[in-house]
Amino acid sequence: MGLIFIYPKFLFFLLIIPLLFLIHFLSLRAYKSKALRFANFEAIARIKGVEFYSKNLVILILTCLLMLVIIFASAGLTLRTEVEASSFSFAIAIDSSASMGADDFKPTRLDSAKDTALQFVEQNPISTRFGVISFGSAARLEQDVIDNKELVSKAVEDIKVSASGGTNLYDAVVLGVNILRGYDNKSMIFLSDGQINIGNLQEAIDYANDNNLIIHTIAIGTEEGGESAYGLTKLDEESLQAISFNTKGSYFKAKDKEATAAAFSKIADLKMKRVSIPLSNYLFSLSILLIVVIYYLANSRYRTIP
């Protein structure tokens, strides 16, 4: 759970608040100077020299609070939180870069990832929707989001190891967001060895967060590494841990096919979705209430007109 600003440029207007305090105390100084010209406190009270100190501070505080509320509303204050969801739409993203041809998972990392993805599809309810993405140097849509398990399974089976050695996680995140757009309950599952060498990881995380996408990651590979067409390649857990942690997803390390299947089973049981709740309307309503309160006080108990 956290608060963000959709239009942070409006926070510049927060500089108005210290300006209000400056104006207030300069006015106090002027009133005090004027009051000292009189010989008694009765005269001072009539020009509000004493009352200005004791009462108008309330008006100042309420006015500053009003300005703060209006500025936060204009800046698009939004609450990001997680709520329980009854069903999910998944984008399964399988790393198909050359390093996934490594043999530390038998027969290869990619084959292990595909077999487990098929198990995951099969064990979910028939109404669950899936999309399938493969990604190497670029992301490729293998199957748009659909509730047809047969078509989804075929798309997974058809994924081949790419001839290129690059792994572009950012492209995969963008594609995942696009195919899941319009679905309320959604998350993305990455199966990869973490050898991300194209694109910026932080940009991928930011893009996922901006679109309320939870990303679960499953590490496919070993620290010792395996032989691929490009030589020995080892598992890079840090990148996978970073993207799952920073998008409120879960990270799993698969040591073999059984462990990977268990990770998918846990993901299927995670029923949380991310939502953004705009607070601007509530803040504007509060600002109207504050205006009424300030007007009432300024024209009744806290009047400053002599």
User: Is residue 134 situated within a structural domain?
Assistant: yes
Is residue 166 domain-shared with residue 283, that is, in the same domain? no
User: Is residue 114 situated within a structural domain?
Assistant: yes
Distance in angstroms (rounded) separating the CA atoms of residues 211 and 115:
29
Is residue 176 domain-shared with residue 213, that is, in the same domain? yes
Give strand pairing partners of 2: 80
User: Is residue 1 situated within a structural domain?
Assistant: no
- The full length of the chain comes to 306
Is residue 42 domain-shared with residue 14, that is, in the same domain? yes
Do 172 and 190 form a contact (C-beta atoms < 8 A)? yes
Is residue 57 domain-shared with residue 92, that is, in the same domain? no
The residue type of 193 is: D
Is residue 116 domain-shared with residue 151, that is, in the same domain? yes
Q: Coil, strand, or helix at residue 174?
A: helix
Is residue 48 domain-shared with residue 149, that is, in the same domain? no
User: Is residue 257 situated within a structural domain?
Assistant: yes
Q: pLDDT at position 305, please? A: 43
Using DSSP bridges, classify how beta strands 186-192 and 231-233 pair: parallel, antiparallel or unpaired: unpaired
Is residue 222 domain-shared with residue 88, that is, in the same domain? yes
Question: For residue 15, what are its two tokens?
Answer: 């500089």
Contacts made by residues 287-292, CB under 8 angstroms, sequence distance 24+? 287/66, 287/69, 287/70, 287/73, 290/62, 290/65, 290/66, 290/69, 291/66
Is residue 20 domain-shared with residue 159, that is, in the same domain? no
Distance in angstroms (rounded) separating the CA atoms of residues 239 and 205:
11
The residue type of 34 is: K
Is residue 138 domain-shared with residue 235, that is, in the same domain? yes
Residue span of the structural domain in which 86 resides: 82-275
Is residue 150 domain-shared with residue 268, that is, in the same domain? yes
User: Is residue 304 situated within a structural domain?
Assistant: no
Q: pLDDT at position 54, please? A: 47
Backbone φ, ψ for residue 298 (5° rounding) = -70, -20
Is residue 151 domain-shared with residue 189, that is, in the same domain? yes
Is residue 206 domain-shared with residue 61, that is, in the same domain? no
Helices (H) and strands (E) in the chain, counts: 10, 11
- Give start and end residues of each alpha helix (H) in 109-233: 109-123, 149-157, 169-180, 201-210
Tens of pLDDT, residue by residue, the chain (306 residues): 678 888 889 999 999 888 888 887 777 676 666 655 554 555 555 544 444 444 567 888 888 899 999 999 999 898 877 655 546 789 999 999 888 888 888 889 899 889 888 888 888 878 789 999 999 888 999 999 999 999 999 999 999 988 766 788 899 999 999 999 988 778 899 998 887 777 788 999 999 998 889 899 988 888 887 777 677 878 888 889 999 999 988 898 877 666 666 766 677 665 555 667 888 999 999 999 999 988 888 777 655 544
Distance in angstroms (rounded) separating the CA atoms of residues 29 and 35:
10
Q: pLDDT at position 53, please? A: 47
Instruction: Kindly list the distances between the CA atom of residue 251 and the CA atoms of 109, 124, 208, 273, in Å, as whole numbers in the listed order.
Output: 17, 20, 16, 16
Count the domains in the chain: 2
